[in-house]
Structure 1
Amino acid sequence: MVEKVNVLVVGEGGREFAIAKKLQESEHVKQVYCAPGNVGMSAVGVQPVDIAETDFAGLIDFAKSHKVVWTFVGPEDCLVDGIVDDFAAAGLKAFGPNARAAQLEGSKDYALNFMNNYGVPTARHASYRDQTAAIASVDQFGFPVVIKENGLAGGKGVVIARDRATAVQTIKEMFAGGQARLVLEECLVGQEYSMFVLLSNGHYRILPMAQDHKRAYDGDKGPNTGGMGAYSPLPQLSATDRQAMVDQVVTPTVNGLVKGEYHYHGILYIGLIMTVAGPKVIEYNVRLGDPETQVILPRLKTDLFELVDRALNDQPLPEVEVDSRASFGVVLASKGYPQKPIHGQKLGAMPQMAGVDIDYANVSGTLADLQGAGGRLLMVLTQATTLQKAHDRVYAYLSQLDKPECFYRNDIGAKAGL
């Protein structure tokens, strides 16, 4: 008989909902706690805990008192602020990189230097601490040019400036907004993909890949967001191109982590673009992505608890088995997102539909009487034998909703021919 244990997930959004839900399905798990979690988690047997994700001492006390075997850290800001280090100092295990390794997401400049040092292909780039120098150099990159805030920005600190006037204005605004450093990059052309690597100190497994949709509106228009929808698998990505990503990006990245003595135990997200010159890295994230997590974890047939548990304990990692079914999800966001999302709109109880799941994120109230709490509210998702069937089912569900103070994209999956 399998001895069941308790685990803790840190975070409150749709990503953490999906992680906690998957862990709760494991035969090894007695109870998944999620701090602070959200009100929707009770629908999948996960117990929210009223402790802020920034309250590391409170989380440590809870993990000890509830006999938590390990903690899965969702948000990047916690990782950059050293939650894994604090847990380790308290004699507890947490799945995620330490503060040093988390700089791969915490600083764009740090990540680019890592790529340069270890031969990982990326865009031509330079970083600037001075507004005048950045403006003087902008023409070197051609237009459009990519301008990135150096620090964490929740997936929204990137501007693609189509002309010099826009670039100059953006540079001035970023420095005026308190940025101490920003990065200029050439604008790469090609389809973008999300690759997730589960790492155990140099040993790794690649999880199912996905494609995210960052822009707020149809046709990839509007401002960057945290992500408006995702799907997996990727029919437009050939096996040859995927192998090139592994050989040219994953292998040197993992080798660099070993050579640099990062002792990385966690997830590394690699944002990739497939250019005519081959795969190149757009960015590293040091955790699972949102909304990709919501579509890749349902395809994972391997027990997520076993993967994480073995990774944390430096044991041989099981092979990753993937469900052949397609997974497809669309985010329902609050009107005004990402600039000024409204709060408090009445959602009521989300209707039920066969084969459709809801991963809740920024909601309050109760499952019977939900309210929006700003930003991305929830994700509507499903699995089906084909991407087209999954796509059609999700949009059939969304089309029957009457949520005037919300919006969603109508073209998720277009690059896959849907």
Structure 2
Amino acid sequence: MKILVVGNGGREHAIAWALLQSPQVTQVLCVPGNGGTATMDRCQNLSFRSDDFGGIARFAEVNGVALIVIGPEFPLSIGIVDYLNNRNIPVFGPTRAGAQIESSKTWAKALMEDANIPTPKSATFTDLTTARAYIEQQGAPIVVKADGLAGGKGVIVAETLAEALTAVELLFAQNYGRLLIEEYVTGQEVSVIALTDGKTVRALLPAQDHKRIGDGDTGANTGGMGAYAPAPLATPALMLRVQNEVLDPTLAALKRKGIDYRGVLYAGLMISPSGEPKVLEFNCRFGDPETQAILPLLATPLVDLLLACTEQRLAALPPIEWKPAVATCVTIAAQGYPGNYERGKVISGIDMATNEGTLVFHAGTQLKQNRVVTDGGRVLSVTCIAPDFASSIDRVYQGVKAINFEGMYYRQDIAQRALS
């Protein structure tokens, strides 16, 4: 069968790679794809934009595409699934109504509160004066969140009152009409990415992302500088709590709203020092870079899971199977990211980094004149599968060091928490 994947990041490269591990999948088509998907066997890039719903639909109908998988949040938030559903084209991802769980933090917070899902207390503001007054009353540290899609960079953890006041001024100046101001909670974050067909929800392996740009979780927030899976912090007992206290109640709350939610339900959790989970945010798609750490460990064919979700038969599948291994993923970024950065830098060493157990997923790259060049802030994700985290970390950094382009940057402490 042919499957079409919408998106051009490391997540979409990993999804395409995972789909092609199944003999059922003869070809993956990527819209628009990147330099990695352009050079992968049985994979082809298409020059549609991700918001060209008509072009994508017509191509799928004419070329016998069996399933369309939506990678990024933006096309989901503007209704690509609704459009394809109306054309009776099989698609994996939630409708526009369901995608509000990511596209509107205030909508998601209201859903959580209605369903008694554990989450930090918060308040919503539409003007600077009242937001400033609330911050001055609450004090710092405090968290300021833009109510809308921000590419993983709309959350500011303010350590001081001055930082918090500057954050609300900055986000209102960027034309976010609403802000969510949330209490600061301590602990470790865990990403629980689950698949659902609207009736049943099944969690994948838990992962831990590294959002800050600098070693030791310092500096600005990014889309993610690395991840590892399975996160030892998320014990089987904790995952059972997440299933019962977060995933199942959320799906039930969506159903009560009349939303038939099929796709990814991703809970970004904070685990307190005492082991209590709280939902910081929901996403409506696979995480990046968590996907690049999770999917290489998947033994069950990904295509079987995605088709079961679209056809509402997830409960009939046997338990998801995993390889007896761990994975560490390190993101290589362009100099200046998450701020301004240059494009067009020639990348070398990718073949040297790729071997048995080590994969290189492209994100911000393009293939130009048979050379792979940088074309984004997060450029590559290097993932290593190994029996244990010590081996995985050592080998992934061997792979990273084989790669070179002008100004490349990466964190050097990914997955260190897994060793402790």
Coarse TM-score class (shorter-chain normalised): over 0.9
Cα distance, 1:208 vs. partner?
1.2
Identity over aligned pairs, percent? 38
Give the aligned partner of residue 307 of structure 1: 305
Does the alignment pair 1:339 with 2:336?
A: no
CA–CA separation in structure 2 for the residues paired with 1:303 and 1:318: 12
Give the aligned partner of residue 19 of structure 2: 23
Cα distance, 1:140 vs. partner?
4.1
Q: Contact between 1:40 and 1:366, CA under 8 Å: does it hold in 2? A: no
Of residues 386, 389, 393, the one that matches 2:388 is 386
Cα distance, 1:374 vs. partner?
2.0
Letter in 2 for 1:345: K
Unpaired runs of 5+ residues, structure 1, are: none
Letter in 2 for 1:36: P
Cα distance, 1:235 vs. partner?
2.0
Kindly report the root-mean-square deviation, in angstroms, between the aligned alpha carbons of the 2 structures.
1.5
Q: Contact between 1:307 and 1:318, CA under 8 Å: does it hold in 2? A: no
Of residues 32, 36, 40, the one that matches 1:36 is 32
SS in 1 for 2:347: strand
Give the aligned partner of residue 407 of structure 1: 409
SS in 2 for 1:69: strand
Cα distance change of structure 1 residues 58 and 362 upon mapping to structure 2, 3 Å threshold: same
Give the aligned partner of residue 162 of structure 1: 159
With 202-211 and 185-194 compared, the bigger mean Cα shift is at 202-211
Q: Contact between 2:389 and 2:419, CA under 8 Å: does it hold in 1? A: no
CA–CA separation in structure 2 for the residues paired with 1:291 and 1:45: 23
Letter in 2 for 1:133: T
SS in 2 for 1:39: coil
Cα distance, 1:366 vs. partner?
5.0
Give the aligned partner of residue 352 of structure 1: 352
For normalisation by structure 1, the TM-score amounts to: 0.96
Cα distance, 1:37 vs. partner?
0.7
Give the aligned partner of residue 116 of structure 1: 113
Q: Contact between 1:214 and 1:220, CA under 8 Å: does it hold in 2? A: yes
Cα distance, 1:225 vs. partner?
0.6
Cα distance, 1:211 vs. partner?
0.6
Cα distance, 1:108 vs. partner?
0.4
Letter in 1 for 2:320: V
Give the aligned partner of residue 241 of structure 1: 238
Cα distance change of structure 1 residues 181 and 385 upon mapping to structure 2, 3 Å threshold: same
Q: Contact between 1:39 and 1:365, CA under 8 Å: does it hold in 2? A: yes
Q: Contact between 1:204 and 1:317, CA under 8 Å: does it hold in 2? A: no
Cα distance change of structure 1 residues 349 and 49 upon mapping to structure 2, 3 Å threshold: farther
SS in 2 for 1:246: helix
Query: In the TM superposition, what whole-angstrom CA distance separates every residue of 1:321-363 from its partner, at most 9, and x where no partner exists?
Result: 1111111110110000011122111213524243321101111
After the TM superposition, which residues 86-97 of structure 1 pair with which residues of structure 2 at under 5 Å, given as runs?
86-97=83-94
Cα distance, 1:277 vs. partner?
6.7
Query: In the TM superposition, what whole-angstrom CA distance separates every residue of 1:166-187 from its partner, at most 9, and x where no partner exists?
Result: 1111111111111100000001
Unpaired runs of 5+ residues, structure 2, are: none
Count of residue pairs the alignment pairs up:
414
Cα distance, 1:110 vs. partner?
0.3
SS in 2 for 1:43: coil
SS in 1 for 2:170: helix
SS in 2 for 1:103: helix
Q: Contact between 2:352 and 2:402, CA under 8 Å: does it hold in 1? A: no
Cα distance change of structure 1 residues 36 and 203 upon mapping to structure 2, 3 Å threshold: same
Give the aligned partner of residue 329 of structure 1: 329
Does the alignment pair 1:294 with 2:297?
A: no
Give the aligned partner of residue 9 of structure 1: 5
